[in-house]
A and B are shown apart, each in its own frame.
Chain A
């Protein structure tokens, strides 16, 4: 098994949750709740339901943590899966019908201005990274990652052959890796400096 890099936060969270320490949930929440909330919100499309689902997700993460296998993948990927499944359960149990979703791709997917606005609160350097990605790649990741479209649904929505969804999304993610890789390096350095400073001066 290759030695995969883990972030210090993940290591601490895994240690705490393995010991059934609730501090692990707090730490998880502090670092990942905005990202997870956004993913849930894109699926359920309602602040109220998203809030409820987010609560359920963290309870499920706590409950199911013994089932998490660090050798199989990142903690975040595992959590996203739990959030996404719960969010889908929520909309299925309510009046949502998945069938008519393919016709209504949110404007934000196509409108790069709206997306840029959404990102205004985050680091401006990293915002640039997202803007560098071409529209098609972004839309594909949006649909597959945030809107929980299946490959088939995405091919219909974007009017591209089913076979190319796979290669397109690979291309899109590779582009993401490239751009994040360049800018992410600097971001990582700053984050490390920040964490070190925090440890020295107390948080």
Chain B
């Protein structure tokens, strides 16, 4: 067989074009494996027709590739029962993937728990700050009111001087008849025993009128509003049993001052 005349016969073109019988195909393939020049000629013909086909390309409608890949995916997942053995590396990969995702899930759920804990504590902190802010605002309001009361020109200050029981003690009542309000400043009254409480009195027409008991403690704000008693001529503080008395215990009077 002469390869050159075999090539020249044009049978190789028909081979590549797929126009030969099974018998002829076998013959061509046998010669191709024997004669490199025949094999190379086939490749050159293939190349030319491939180029020609690529030039005549027509883009298929969209979505074909995704349909193909989806079909391969579903085939792939059912191939286990189709007699095709799944390679070991697939099991290893699947196991690794599972462990990885399980670890990821565990870590992320831990992280989630930590985050919701942080959110909860931030919420508590926010509540605390909010109430602290509220009480500060209330305190500011109270002090402003107190300040405006004390600086009011109608407010008179009645100092109560220490008696023989506590000569150095001093306290004061701020008395405003115009708007019928009064405040007490505990001043330098000594801290009483725990079973006793100071009680404030107004003297109206020689008779004592109860104005309530009050605490004297270190660190306690010394100024507080007290009930208003009209027509007071004097104010006095006595030490009474806890809860106060109906009538003042006169020998336990600590401070006293006249409304001049």
Interface residues of A (CB under 8 A from B): 1-2, 4-5, 22, 25-26, 29, 32-39, 41, 47, 50-51, 54-55, 58-59, 62, 71-74, 76-77, 80-81, 84, 118-119, 122-123, 126-127, 129-130, 141, 144-146, 150-151, 166-167, 169-170, 173, 176-177, 180, 184
Contact in complex: B43, A177 (CB < 8 Å): no
Given A1-B36, A84-B18, A119-B55, A62–B60 Cβ distance below 8 Å? no
Contact A167 B53 (CB under 8 A): no
Stretch in B62-70, B148-156, B189-197, B216-224 touching the partner: B62-70
Beyond A130-B52, A141-B52, A145-B49, 20 additional contacts (C-beta under 8 Å) are A1-B39, A25-B69, A33-B60, A33-B65, A35-B57, A37-B59, A58-B68, A59-B68, A76-B50, A77-B16, A77-B46, A119-B55, A122-B55, A130-B55, A150-B19, A151-B14, A169-B10, A169-B13, A173-B45, A173-B49
In the complex, what's the smallest C-beta–C-beta distance from B76 to chain A, in angstroms?
A: 8
Residues of chain B whose beta carbon lies under 8 Å from any beta carbon of chain A = 8-14, 16-19, 29, 32-33, 36, 39-40, 42-61, 64-65, 67-69, 71-73, 75
Find the B residue at minimum CB distance from A171: B10
Smallest CB-CB separation from A123: which chain B residue? Answer: B55
**Interface residues of A, dominant DSSP:** helix
From B36, B42, B52, give the contact of A180 (CB < 8 A).
B52
Contact A62 B72 (CB under 8 A): yes
A45 to chain B, nearest CB (A): 13
Residue of B nearest to A84 (CB): B18
Other-chain residue from A36, A144, A180 in contact with B19 (beta carbon distance below 8 A): A144
A177 contact from B10, B33, B45, Cβ within 8 A:
B45
